[in-house]
Structure 1
C-alpha cells in the first residue's frame, strides 16, 4: 500500500471491523456474561450494522465525515459504556481529519492517539483497570514507537496489533477496577475483558486492511 490511509481504505477498515464484530458477536457476549451485563457483543453488532446502513450518506465526504458518522451512530445506537467510549474514539479521530481525504502514517497515529486520550478522559480509566484501554494503550505505544523507528505503516500496524493482543490477554489476570466488572472484585480475575477483546479486533482489522 502507499504510505497513507485513504478515505477508501478507512471505509474498508470500518467495514472489516463490522464484519469482525458480527463474526465474534457471540464470543463477546459470552465474555461479557462472565463479568458484565452480557450485552457487549449484541450492542456492538447493532451499532456497527447501523453504521453500515448509514455509510452511503457520507460517500462523498472526507475522512472527518466518515469518522464523525461512525462516532455519532455508535453514540446513538450502542448501549452501556461501549457506545460513548467507541463513539468518542471516532469523534476525536474526526477532529484530526478535518478536510483530509488521506492520512499520512504520523497523522493516523496522532488521530488514534487523540481517540485514546478521549476514551481515557471520558471513561476515567487507566492501564491495569481491566478495560479496553489495556489493549488500546499498548497498541498506540507500539504504533508510535515503530513509526519513530521508520518502520513502514503495515509493519507498524502489525506491531500495534500484536501489542493489543498481548494487552487483551493480560486482562485475564487483572482484577477489574472500572465498570460493572468491578462489582465482582477478585471474582473478575480469570476472565478476559470484553472491551479489550473488541479493541484488539479493531487493531487487528487495521493491520489486516492496511497492507
Structure 2
C-alpha cells in the first residue's frame, strides 16, 4: 500500500463479510448443484444460512474491532452451519482473530498474516493438503499470490486481485482431481470431473475481499 494510505478498518472488513454473504446467496444454487454431484447437496444452503446469520449478527451487535468481528463471525458459522462447512469456515475466522494483534486498522502485512492464520486453521481442522480437492486448493494458491505480490511491493488492492485470480485457478484445478478428503473421497475415481464446492465458495470469499477490501483501500490510497 502506498505510504500514508489507509489500512483495512473495521467498516471495510464488515463490507467484506456482507459482500461474501451476498455472493453466497447469488451462487447458492450453483454451490448446491456442485455438492449434489460429489457430496450431500447442502453446501449452498448451509453457506447461505451461515452467512445470513453472520449478517444478522453484524446488524444486531456490531463488533468493536477486527479481532472481535472475526471471533463473532467464526462462532456464528460454527453454531449455524451444518456439515463440514461450519467448522472449517468458522475455524478460518476464529484463527484470524488473534492474528490481528488487537489492531483497530490492519496494514496489508497484518491482514495477510491473519488470512494465513485462517488457512493454517483450516488445514489443521480438515487435515487437508493442496491437491486433496477441498477449499484448500483455492485458498492456498490465493494466499501465496497475495504474499508474493505484497513482497514485490504491490498495493494491497493489486495483491488481492492477484489472490482472487489464483483462487479461481485453484478452484478450476479441482475439477480433474480425485478427492482425498471429505464426503467426496467416498466416490473415489468417480469424484474426478466435478468442481469442488468448497473450493468454489472459498474462491467467492477471496473475490469478495478483492472487491470490498481491495476496492476500499484503492479508493483511499
Report the TM-score, using the length of structure 1 for normalisation. 0.97
Does 1:207 find its partner at 2:210?
yes
1:196 to 176, 199, 204: 199
Asked whether the 8 Å contact 1:64–1:94 carries over to 2, the reply is: yes
Structure 1 Cα separation of the partners of residues 6 and 138 of structure 2? 25
Shift of residue 96, structure 1, vs aligned partner: 1.3
My pick for the range that moved more, 55-64 or 189-198, is 55-64
User: Which residue does 2:57 correspond to in 1?
Assistant: 54
Between 1-10 and 176-185, report the one with greater CA deviation: 1-10
Shift of 1:56: 3.1
Q: Secondary structure at the match of 1:173?
A: coil
Aligned-residue RMSD, C-alpha:
1.1
Unaligned 5+ segments in structure 1 are none
Task: State the 1:87 CA deviation.
Answer: 0.2
Equivalent residues of 1:62, 1:98 under 8 A apart: no
Q: What's 1:22 paired with?
A: 25
Partners of 2:6 and 2:55 lie apart in 1 by: 26
Whether 2:112 is the aligned partner of 1:109: answer yes
Moved over 4 A (4+): none
Residues 25 and 60 of structure 1: is their aligned pair in 2 closer, same or farther, counting only changes over 3 Å?
Answer: closer
Alignment gaps of 5+ in structure 2? 216-221
Contact residue 3 and residue 105 of structure 1 kept, 8 A: no
Does residue 148 of structure 2 align to residue 145 of structure 1?
yes
CA separation of 1:120 and 1:60: change in aligned 2, threshold 3 A: closer
Task: Give CA deviations for 1:40-89 in whole Å, capped at 9, x if unaligned.
Answer: 00000000111111113442510111111110000001001100000000
After TM superposition, the score normalised by the length of structure 2 is 0.93
Judge conservation of contact 1:63–1:98 (CA < 8 Å) in 2. Answer: no
Q: What SS does the aligned partner of 1:161 have?
A: helix
